[in-house]
Structure formats: C-alpha cells, structure tokens
Chain A
C-alpha cells in the first residue's frame, strides 16, 4: 500500500514569508507526528496528533509554528514569517492508533534565503 507522502519535496522561500508543508499519512493511521531535522539540532519532535486533536505540541519552537489536521487524515504544518534558522528537513510520520511503530515520509527540505 501507499506510504506516508509529503509535499513539496523541496521548498525555497525568502525570509519573512509564510510556508505550508503537507503530510498525507498511511490510510487508516490515526496518529501523526511532525519532526524537524537540522544540522544544529538533530532530529527533534514538533507535534503529535491523535485524530484531529494535538495532545502534545511541546516541540513547536515558537508561536510562528502551527499545525492542523483535518478529517483525521492530511496534516499541514505552517511556518509564519520564516527565519533562516527554520531551514531544515521536516519529517512526518504516522502510526496505527498510537501503535508502537512510526512510518516516516520522505520529508520536505525547507531552505530560507
């Protein structure tokens, strides 16, 4: 079956612009996670969804970052007023009803110039 998909694959944006990153989880997976992978910070958790609600937003680095999930499926991570330090690979993962194993998408590489 289809895996986790993310779009766009790469995004270049100017400092100060807003960006939206999309994640399509595996069909039927109720849990969805966003992570960020950067040279300086390694792999870090951002936010977790169970269905459409986000019980854990503890990893969002600032109020410029937000995420939503609709219909228990697609999720969008929005970064407002992007900064150069936001440059990173943003990874999405999903799992079955808080199942143990998380399945990752290919990521979106965000470059802020």
Chain B
C-alpha cells in the first residue's frame, strides 16, 4: 500500500516571500500521479498542481511549482510571492495509474499561515 507523509503540521511565511512545503511518499509502483490540494476554511479541496511520475520536468502553475525527486520519493511544493489568499491547509496526495485503483491517498496536511 502507498503512504504519503507530510512532516510539517504548520508553516508560516511573510506575505510576498517564498515557502516550501514538504511531502514524501512510499510506493512500489514505477508510474503514478502526485498532487497538491489546497483546502481553505470553506472546506472545498482545490487542486493546486499535479505531477506525472514519468515526466522528469517539474510541474509549474503560476506562483506554484514542485520539486519532484523520484529516486528520493519526494514531492515538495514551492509557493512564490505568497499572498493572503494562499492561507489554507495543503494536502499532498498520491494516485496509482491502475484502472480500478484511482483513489487518492493523502498526507496529513500542512497548515499554512500568511503573515501580513
């Protein structure tokens, strides 16, 4: 079974600065998908960014980018130019590519606080 670990329960960053959230995972599969989801107080999970394991290039979405290290099974999220609206819980998630096994396995989350 796959596991996802987020070792930082809480992080804080000054507005406009850069912050990196850590995630490691364990799997025996060679191909898979990784995601970062954001959950604001409204509870709605919002997809921030995704990475396919077969792609060597790190995914980027505007101010959000990942550092994907497949050999180390590490998948960190970097948020640049942090904004007040980035304050939320952030969850790292793993998905198998196999049909019938599309469930997401989540880490325990990191609560990000933005300091004005």
Contact = CB atoms under 8 A, between A and B. Distances in A.
A48 B95 contact: no
Interface residues of A, number: 26
Contact of B103 (A59, A104, A109): A59
A100 B43 contact: no
Interface string A89-113: 1010101001011111111010000
B99 interface: yes
Contacts of B106: 42-44
B102 A31 contact: yes
Contacts of A95: 102
A48 B47 CA distance: 19
Interface string A48-79: 10100001100100000000000000000000
A100 B50 contact: yes
B28 interface: no
Contacts of A100: 33, 50, 95
27 contacts: A31-B102, A33-B102, A33-B104, A42-B106, A42-B107, A42-B108, A42-B109, A43-B106, A43-B109, A45-B104, A45-B105, A48-B102, A55-B100, A56-B100, A56-B101, A59-B103, A89-B43, A93-B104, A98-B99, A98-B102, A101-B35, A102-B104, A105-B44, A106-B42, A106-B43, A107-B43, A107-B44
Interface of B: 33, 35, 37, 42-47, 50, 91, 95, 99-109
